[in-house]
Structure 1
Amino acid sequence: MTAGTIVLLRHARTAYNAGLRLQGQIDIPLDEVGRWQAEQGATALAASHKGSLVVASDLQRARDTAVAYARHVGLEVVTDAGLRERSFGIWEGLTDTEIAERWPEEHAVWRSGGEPPAEGVEPKDVVARRMEEAVLRHAEALSAGETLVVVSHGSAITQAVIRLLGLDPATWRGLHGLHNVHWSHLRASGPGATPEWRLVAHNVGAGYPLDTWQSGPEARQ
């Protein structure tokens, strides 16, 4: 038994997103634009997918984004630490420029798609395995006619989707990351099919132009 549909939703904007700082597992709240995004995205997602279960990373930016959606469908949010963002260790809180200046060789490896040997950086395949385990554990509590909505983080969702599609997260880089409060939609394949999940849609959001979405409601005035 498993859910027929899985929706993986990235959290709304934070001050670190706005400042282009690497968040990792730092527990930072949504900013003003992020709270607006969460409400707008929740309305759009609820119009497309009525979740049977809403599960979120226990980091507050994901949890608060999940609550905005869960209110629309009359559910409570279940939190799961297994859905946290990829840990970036000593790089967390820094900008790309700051990382490149202090760790130029490791930064070059990272930007080329490799695994940087920096303290505390979680390998992509490790992230993918823990995300897959958490997602499928919750999906198995549902039936084929039900939908699991998972609210997590950009890198973590990317690795999870790649693994659910039967690809190697350590080497395959063909999937663009999600914008804030955008989602991926996966459907269970038929019995015995490989891979077990199919990607139906990716990086779907509330329909705003990207510059407006990133700037917030003031950009519409």
Structure 2
Amino acid sequence: MTRFWLVRHGPTHQKTFTGWRDVPADLTDTAALDRLSSYLPDQALLVSSDLQRSVHTADAIGGGRTRLAHRKTLREFDFGLWDGLHHTEVAERDPVLSRQFWEQPGTLAPPNGESWNAVTKRVTASLTQLAHRHKTKDIVVVCHMGMIMTMIAQCGGTPYEAMGHKIDNLSVTDVHFTLQGWHIGTINHVA
């Protein structure tokens, strides 16, 4: 079994869609970062998406953990033309699609962006590869809310149900990869 500790990066304070835009995280709450680092297994491997909000959060909680190379495959949804827009602007621009994207997650994608299914495929392949390469290890993955939700659905349930979970900044959701597939542990633990 490989256990993944999916950590959502620190807060960005963005009020708009934030997918592949590379915005920084606010990492001034050092007490929260220390609690998070203490909660995670000391001997775990550590990997992050290649976006700075994840990279810098991983740096802040790294401790003595062995760091693996950043992975573009662990990025948030690519929101395409919606990235940087407020939800009201998106609703005005694409009134039908913007509603269906959240209510019927699957093959629908923002203009020039990614669908739920595409993100699930990308993320699951990346984590499965890590599981095969680092069998029986604990792996801390500093990543993004949408990515975490796709893994919750991958462990059982529907994408729509998975989107109903709250995923706080600096929270931990753990998932396990076994010969029988993916299994969920704790969702949205805040240390």
Q: Is 1:78 paired with 2:76?
A: no
- The 5 A counterparts of 1:26-175 are 26-30=21-25, 34-37=26-29, 39-50=30-41, 51-70=43-62, 72-114=63-105, 116=108, 118-144=110-136, 146-163=137-154, 165-167=155-157, 169=159, 172-173=161-162, 175=164
Alpha carbons of 1:15 and 1:75: their partners in 2 closer, same or farther (altered >3 Å)?
Answer: same
RMSD value, Cα: 2.2
> Which residue matches 1:199?
184
1:126 is paired with a residue whose SS is helix
2:55 is paired with a residue whose SS is helix
Among candidates 9, 12, 31, match of residue 11 of structure 1: 9
Alignment partners' CA distance in 2, 1:199 and 1:82: 21
Unmatched 5+ residue regions in structure 1? 207-221
TM-score if structure 1 supplies the norm length? 0.76
Unmatched 5+ residue regions in structure 2? none
In the TM superposition, what whole-angstrom CA distance separates every residue of 1:104-154 from its partner, at most 9, and x where no partner exists?
12222124234545411201011011101111212222232x211111111
Q: Is 1:24 paired with 2:22?
A: no
Alignment partners' CA distance in 1, 2:10 and 2:109: 29
In the TM superposition, what whole-angstrom CA distance separates every residue of 1:177-205 from its partner, at most 9, and x where no partner exists?
4111111012345x5x4xx2321201011
> Which residue matches 1:178?
167
The structure with the larger Rg is 1
